[in-house]
Amino acid sequence: MATSGTYRKFKIDSNGNRYTHIIDTKTGYPSRTNILSVSVITHDCMTADAYATALQAMGVEGVRVFLKTHPELKVFIVFVNDANELQTEVLNGFPST
């Protein structure tokens, strides 16, 4: 299991956009995401860590779509929803207890 988070290292610009320390590979700039934390369980920690960071940059809907073809990854995400409230989501059977 590994967790990647942006709840500590981020900046908010004058327009209210939240930028993280994780780079968006499509733009080469810091990612703008509402995801605060992604935890991944898979067969080894190194793979879990790589996926946790990659999923962090995808956004919530991107994570949902990606995981449809990766059932081996059990994922727990913490994010800020459109109402600016904390929300969590369990995907692919991440243990809830």
CATH number at residue 78: 3.10.520.10
Domain containing residue 70: 2-91
Q: How many domains does the chain have?
A: 1
- Nearest one of 7, 15, 90 to 56, comparing CA atoms: 7
Asked if residue 10 belongs to a domain, the reply is yes
pLDDT per position as a tens digit, 4-21:
987 777 788 898 777 777
CB-side neighbour CA atoms (13 Å) of 7: 11
What was the pLDDT predicted at 72? 97
Per-residue pLDDT band at 78 (split at 50, 70, 90): very high
Give the pLDDT confidence of 46-66 residue by residue, as tens digits.
999 999 999 988 889 999 999
Q: How many alpha carbons fall within 13 Å on the CB side of residue 62?
A: 13
pTM for the full model?
0.85
